[in-house]
Amino acid sequence: MRTIKFRAWDNKHNEWFLDFSVWLSGDIVYNGLNLVLNPEIIILEQFTGLTDKNGKEIYEGDVVKIEASYKGTYKGDWIVSFSECSFKITSYKGFQYNLKPHMINGTLCKVIGNIHENPELL
């Protein structure tokens, strides 16, 4: 069973919200404040249920480096995203694969940043 967790990036203040509640109304409660979940300001990202080789949790928006894989298929830097009801990894060349545990667990995978704090990785 996969743990369902989220993190939220605040585009306005360039900071993470890591300990918050999400309400069905679409609001986020953070440090006692009620913040409206506006996708232009607050970006909600889900935990994939996977960790990298160092035990770091992998979320949507993370950039991961896969250092080895079966026949080099997945080797390189990938962006983690969620679309079409599944987590995906996308290369800078536009190749996209469904993210499967064997891609991470059977390789040397490391989170090297994320799309918000490290735009140079894109």
User: Residue 75: its pLDDT value, please?
Assistant: 82
Query: Residue 41: its pLDDT value, please?
Result: 81
Yes or no: say if 9 and 55 are a contact pair by the CB < 8 Å rule. Answer: no
Q: Look up tokens 């069973």; give the residue.
A: 1
Predicted confidence (pLDDT) per residue in 61-83, tens digit? 999 998 876 666 788 899 999 98
Residue 71 belongs to a domain: yes
Structural domain containing residue 112? 6-121
Q: CATH number, domain at 93?
A: 2.30.30.290
Note whether 99 and 66 are within 8 A (CB).
no
Residue 1 lies in a domain: no
- Predicted TM-score (pTM) of the model is 0.84
Check residue 4 and give its pLDDT. Answer: 82
Top mean pLDDT of 32-36, 56-60, 106-110 is at 56-60
Q: What is the pLDDT of residues 8-51, one digit of tens each?
A: 898 888 999 877 776 666 666 666 666 666 778 888 899 999 99
Q: Distance (Å, rounded) from C-alpha 69 to C-alpha 13?
A: 38
Q: How many domains does the chain have?
A: 1
- Domain membership flag for residue 94: yes
Q: Does residue 31 lie within any of the structural domains? A: yes
